[in-house]
Amino acid sequence: MQQIREIAASRNLLWNLTLRELRSKYRRSVLGWSWSLLNPLAQMAIYTFVFGLLFGAKAPTGDPSGVTTYGLYLLTGIIPWGFFALICSVGLQSILSNTNLVRKVAFARESLVLSQVLFCFVQFSIEMSLVCLVLLIAGSAILPWLPMTLLLMVLMACFAGGIALVLSVSAVFFRDLPYLWTIINQLWFFATPVIYDPKIIEGKVPSVVKNILHWNPTAVFIRAFRATTYHGTAPKFQDVGVLFVAAIISLIVGLATFNKLKRRLAEEL
């Protein structure tokens, strides 16, 4: 509880740090915040060309939306995954990139990580607005499921934020972590059905591996996001329950780990 009170007491700092990130993200860039839309669209175009055109990958038919466009299927996976990966990436560096602030000022260090989560959430909201608009035009009945989509976004922010808290404080003590995380991130990406239909692994991997891949939290998130957007229907109740539990556990573990190690941050930096 004391940790929560410290974060609450630093809410003005948290808000200012978030505004700083929002203002500086695309400063002096010609296209500005348009890059937050162009990057996932470029990824979608590349994966569509490589896997859709060259390898003949097909998207499952949206049920009940009837959408069959492989590019839209990719988009509904790439953007949520990008949100998760971005939070972990910028969160990991949040303490190391603010060394002087941590050394000289007394405040809730968690604010440095949480401000990155809020910043990424704003960018994610812009990207998801584009996804919803495109899928609405494509014929998906997405409007009734917008509240559920927003809930999934919040749960994913909590899940990724918990991981970012662990990564940020661990990177201070283990400086090879950024390089190791790059490898882990790549493995995790391909363990998550972002660019492929999970049905293609049927009969190709042992049942244990299949179950691990199926209940991988990011895979469940992608499955739930695709339900509300690509398919235009409710995600499975079991999936939503798993995501609630994963988000809560991740956040609790993240805060506990950060609280245990933050007292040594100044001397380690």
Residue 59, in any domain of the structure? yes
Write out the two tokens for 97: 């990139």
With contact defined as beta carbons under 8 Å apart, do 67 and 140 qualify? yes
Residue 258, in any domain of the structure? yes
Each of the 269 residues of the chain gets a pLDDT tens digit; together they read: 667 777 766 677 778 777 777 777 666 655 555 666 777 777 778 877 877 777 777 888 888 888 888 888 988 999 999 999 999 999 999 888 878 777 777 777 888 899 999 989 998 998 898 888 888 888 888 999 999 999 999 999 999 999 999 999 999 888 889 999 999 999 999 999 998 888 888 778 888 888 888 899 999 999 999 999 999 999 999 999 999 999 999 999 999 999 888 887 766 66
Residue 28, in any domain of the structure? no
Residue 165, in any domain of the structure? yes
CB atoms within 10 A of CB 61: 13
3 state DSSP class of 255: helix
CA distance 201 to 205: 6
Can you give the residue range of the structural domain that contains 113?
2-21+34-268
In 3D space, the residue among 195, 157, 158 whose CA is nearest the CA of residue 76 turns out to be 195
CA distance 233 to 268: 49
Residue 8, in any domain of the structure? yes
Write out the two tokens for 222: 């992608």
Residue 27, in any domain of the structure? no
Q: How many domains does the chain have?
A: 1
With contact defined as beta carbons under 8 Å apart, do 41 and 133 qualify? no
With contact defined as beta carbons under 8 Å apart, do 156 and 246 qualify? no
**How confident is the model at residue 31, as a pLDDT?**
56
Q: What is the pTM of this model?
A: 0.91
* Residue whose structure tokens are 């500086």: 24
Residue 26, in any domain of the structure? no
Q: Which residues of 35-54 are buried (b: 16+ CB within 10 A; e: fewer)?
A: ebbebbbebbeebbeebbee
**How confident is the model at residue 101, as a pLDDT?**
77
Written as one letter, the residue type at 51 is: F
**Which H or E run includes 260?**
helix 237-261
**How confident is the model at residue 152, as a pLDDT?**
97
Write out the two tokens for 209: 């591996």
* Residue whose structure tokens are 């939503």: 240
* 116-to-92, 158, 170, 202, 247 alpha-carbon distances in Å: 10, 12, 17, 38, 17
